[in-house]
């Protein structure tokens, strides 16, 4: 014998409890796009300005010097690699928070404010919106570790502040750019 269907209002109540994620404000979206704006707009505009202000071959010389420094100087490779890792971690944490619906009851998402390299990995400062418990971000530790590929995640809440600090530790890869 078949089991009777549940009452339709039970499903509606369950769906009503799932928060809807709102789109971030314009300022937050601009903050997240700062790297793309620099690499796609400001850097080429600066090179064009350099070419018009000095000599037409100056931008090519600057690009060639940067490429040679990247190839022959290990410290430059490490610097580029750590900054690229910071950008990747920033994007992956934002995607994890959005997909996991880790948000305030009104749908506002936490803001990944600052991502800085550390000797062991990356430090991430996440600002939690008013109305959201910082413990929601702390409970997403396993999700963040899986998304970023970190070997260890250390998370703590700053007392008296609506900020969560996430420390990500990565295993040394021993690749050519870490030489």
Domain ranges of the chain: 21-178
Spatial separation of the C-alpha atoms in residues 104 and 162, rounded to whole Å: 12
pLDDT at residue 173, rounded to an integer: 65
Q: What's this model's pTM, rounded to 2 decimal places?
A: 0.80
Q: Which of 31, 179, 51, 38 is nearest to 109 (CA)?
A: 31
Render pLDDT for 33-69 as a digit per residue (tens, 0 to 9): 999 999 999 999 999 999 999 999 999 999 999 999 9
């Amino acid at each position: 014998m078949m089991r009777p269907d549940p009452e339709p209002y039970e499903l509606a109540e369950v769906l009503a409890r799932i928060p809807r994620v709102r789109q971030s404000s314009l300022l937050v979206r601009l903050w997240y796009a700062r790297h793309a704006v620099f690499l796609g707009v400001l850097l080429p505009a600066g090179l064009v300005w350099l070419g018009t202000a000095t000599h037409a071959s100056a931008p090519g010389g600057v690009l060639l010097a940067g490429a040679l420094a990247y190839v022959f100087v290990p410290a430059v490779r490490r610097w580029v690699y750590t900054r690229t890792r910071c950008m990747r971690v920033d994007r992956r944490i934002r995607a994890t928070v959005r997909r996991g619906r880790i948000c305030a009851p009104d749908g506002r998402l936490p803001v990944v404010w600052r991502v800085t390299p550390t000797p062991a990995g990356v430090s991430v400062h996440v600002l939690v919106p008013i109305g959201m418990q910082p413990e929601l971000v702390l409970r997403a530790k396993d999700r963040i570790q899986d998304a970023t590929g970190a070997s260890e995640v250390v998370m703590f809440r700053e007392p008296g502040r609506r900020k969560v600090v996430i420390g990500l530790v990565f295993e040394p890869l021993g690749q050519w750019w870490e030489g």
